[in-house]
Amino acid sequence: METVLDKFLRYISFDTMSDENSESQPSTSKQLVLLKLLVEELKAMGVNASMDKNGYVMASIPSNIDKKVPAIGFIAHVDTSPDAPGCNIKPQILKNYDGGDILLKGSGKYLRVEEFPEMAMYKGQTMITTDGTTLLGADDKAGVAEIMCVAEYLVKHPEVKHGKICIAFTPDEEIGRGVAAFDVKAFGADYGYTMDGGMIGELEYENFNAASVKIHVAGRNIHPGYAKNKMINSLLVAMELNAMLPVDQRPEFTSGYEGFFHITSFSGVVEQADVSYIIRDHDMARFQAKKTLMQQCVDFLNNKYGNIITCTVKDQYYNMREKVEPHFFVVENAIKAMKMAGVTPRVQPIRGGTDGANLSFMGLPCPNIFAGGHNFHGKLEFVPLESMEKAIEVIKNLVKIYSE
């Protein structure tokens, strides 16, 4: 069998960045290249697989036991975040990691233990990092590779008893549209798990409520020598808006169940400016309050400057907890599967979102399990090989648990 490292390195060689400004499905055609490859690889294993018109890859391995048991789905996304370069990835592979700082040779920067103390947990293991010029793609190609390894294992070991196993790979998760057109009925699973979590042991059935915000400021450009009482500098108005939002509710000052306002892009000239935000909170009431505050700030500035700001708020996904808790055994089974693999479960809220959030609201309860990576969406991303191997064990254990 091919190793998870072999699969992972192959998958991250594909540029699959999604694009929030695109209206196509999927948002970038380059995602389809990897998705088509996954179909080909599954078929080569002997697994029934296909890709629909929206770019969703679905596959299934039939049950090989007589009794009726739940069909279990495993899902991962192929796209990478637009927040950092995702092409020409040059991974660094450090065997028997010494527990110290790691030089990222492409940029001359370091992964420093002082800044990321969790690195010390992986002393003696094989660390896979970026070269400091791109993201790595462990979010979520680690999950893709793990699921593909289990699919290959089950096909090559028919003596392993299991119910129906459903597999899906999705585009556009990073821009909140991962399952916008996903056909849950066609997928065929009764319960699902996204392999899209972070460090080893993570298990999540709560996530943020999420919204995107697009701000456009239409200013008035006048020659600066004659601008008194005439110019409206859209850049300064946008900065004024940002200054009205609570500083302590920025991502860098929040943790746990604390939500935030996060400015993600800012561009413009004197005459016009565009600003993007994301709003996040686990609590629905606080989430709604944050959206209201944003609109109140816009209204205040429009009253001050004369209706020069447009604000478009779009909900992206909601907290899956209310949909998962009535089927809490799916969480308990994941905890059991981790303990069987010698992994200590770390049950915590996701400070983000997964395809599982929307899938849970679409009728497929879908907690999130670790894929093993750290520092997602940036050039300091890394994943220990042994964490990916443990994720494979967890999937195999879940297959066993649901077959009993």
Contact partners, residue 246, CB within 8 Å, separation at least 6: 261
Are 384 and 200 in contact by the 8 Å Cβ rule? The answer is: yes
CA 401 – CA 404 distance, rounded (Å): 6
Question: Looking up tokens 């066993």, which residue turns up?
Answer: 400
CA 295 – CA 302 distance, rounded (Å): 10
CA 320 to chain centroid, in Å, comes to 15
Are 67 and 161 in contact by the 8 Å Cβ rule? The answer is: no
| Token digits of residue 81 | 């975040």
b (16+ CB within 10 A) / e for 315-341: ebbbbbbebbeebeebbebbebbbeeb
| Token digits of residue 122 | 């992986």
CA 261 – CA 245 distance, rounded (Å): 8
Q: Active-site positions?
A: 79, 173
Question: Looking up tokens 């999130």, which residue turns up?
Answer: 368
**Hey, which bits of 118-170 come out as E strands?**
127-129, 165-170
Helices and strands in the chain: count of H runs, count of E runs = 10, 17
Cα angle 99, 105, 106 (rounded to 5 degrees) comes to 140
SS3 of the chain: helix, strand, coil, percent, to 5: 35, 25, 40
Question: Looking up tokens 């701000």, which residue turns up?
Answer: 215
Distances (CA, A) of 280 to 48, 251, 290, 387: 38, 9, 8, 28
